[in-house]
Amino acid sequence: MPSFVRTRLSHVIPAIVALSAPTLAIAQSAPAPTPPYIAATAVGESRVSPDRALVQVTVESRSETAAGAGAANRTKQERVIEAVKAAGVAAPQIRTVGYRVSPEYAQPERGKAPRVTGYLAGNTVQVEVRSIDIVGKVIDAALGAGATNIGSVGLYASNTEAARLEAVQQAVTKARSEAEGAATAAGGSLGTLIELTIDPGAIPRPMLQQVVATGAEFAMSGDMSMRAMSTPVEPGESLVMAVVRVRWQFVPGPR
């Protein structure tokens, strides 16, 4: 064989080996297939009786000037707050959540700018009532002292730990029952627990109950006593929910 032919072949063969080596390395490091598993999501529920309430109390005042409306509102709201305290609410449980002073306008005439007829001042406080038994008493005291509106009453439970634990246990039991049924239908059974996640977002919320009584309606009641006018408040029950997501290893049955 001529010498120039031998030289060319000696360069070609190492090149082929170099290209083949990476391909073999990739084939050896391929990941193992994921073991089969069964995942289930379930919701558990429990109920608890509310023992506290959040009551929003609003006082509105009108005057020809903004300063006059603010001054009248301050005097009236101070009287309302004192009445709420006398009904059994401590000062730290009362906080201001809204205040406004705004102009009021007459119906504009055609071609003319709106005319200011006076000013409206509004002051809203949120009252935390730590006993369901006196919620009606607090509402009556506020209305009797001059409150013009009770916006809402939010009833809630101050301690839901036991109810939430019960809901979590119920959810896990449901999830396992569903997963076992699925495993049996697939010809196998459940193996080792792989993952269990509890959703932190499913927490009880205050139930809002609209109160229709207003200061004007209270004034129309005449000389009726506070006890006779006691606003009925029924606590009912709060729903506590728990959501869990669980995965188990799936063990195939004999073939």
Residues 99 and 120 in one domain: yes
Q: Report if pTM > 0.85.
A: no
* The predicted structure's pLDDT at residue 142: 96
Counting DSSP H helices and E strands in the chain, the numbers are: 5, 8
Q: Residue 20 falls within a domain, yes or no?
A: no
Q: Which of 251, 233, 241 has its CA nearest to residue 53?
A: 233
Query: What whole-number distance in Å separates Cα of residue 25 and Cα of residue 6?
Result: 31
Residues 169 and 145 in one domain: no
**In angstroms, what CA-CA distances link 67 with 83, 106, 191, 231?**
25, 20, 74, 34
Residues 174 and 71 in one domain: no
Residues 98 and 172 in one domain: no
Residues 193 and 122 in one domain: no
Q: Name the DSSP letter for residue 112.
A: S
* The predicted structure's pLDDT at residue 152: 83
Query: What whole-number distance in Å separates Cα of residue 194 and Cα of residue 247?
Result: 5
Q: Which two tokens stand for residue 167?
A: 């809901």
Residues 99 and 172 in one domain: no
What CATH number does residue 71 fall under?
A: 3.30.70.2970
Q: Which two tokens stand for residue 149?
A: 């509106």
High-pLDDT (> 70) share of the chain, %: 76
Residues 186 and 139 in one domain: no
Residues 148 and 189 in one domain: no
Q: Is the pLDDT of residue 169 over 90?
A: yes
Q: Residue 180 falls within a domain, yes or no?
A: yes
Total domains in the fold of the chain: 2
Sign, CA torsion 181/185/191/193? negative
Residues 183 and 226 in one domain: no
Of the two residues 1 and 221, the one the predictor is more confident about is: 1
* The predicted structure's pLDDT at residue 24: 45
Q: Is the pLDDT of residue 193 over 50?
A: yes
Residues 215 and 174 in one domain: no
Q: What share of the chain is helix, strand, coil (3-state, %, to 5)?
A: 35, 35, 30
Residues 43 and 139 in one domain: no
Q: Which two tokens stand for residue 182?
A: 């699925």
For residues 79 and 146, the answer to whether their CB atoms sit within 8 Å is: yes
Residues 217 and 92 in one domain: yes
Spell 53-91 as b/e; 16+ CB within 10 A means b: bbbbbbbbbebeebeebbebbeebbebbbebbbebebee
Angle between helices 135-144 and 66-86 (to 10 degrees): 140
What is the tens place of the pLDDT at every residue in 125-168?
Answer: 999 999 999 999 999 999 999 999 998 888 888 888 999 999 99
* The predicted structure's pLDDT at residue 241: 92
User: Which secondary-structure segment (H or E) carries 170?
Assistant: helix 161-185
* The predicted structure's pLDDT at residue 180: 96
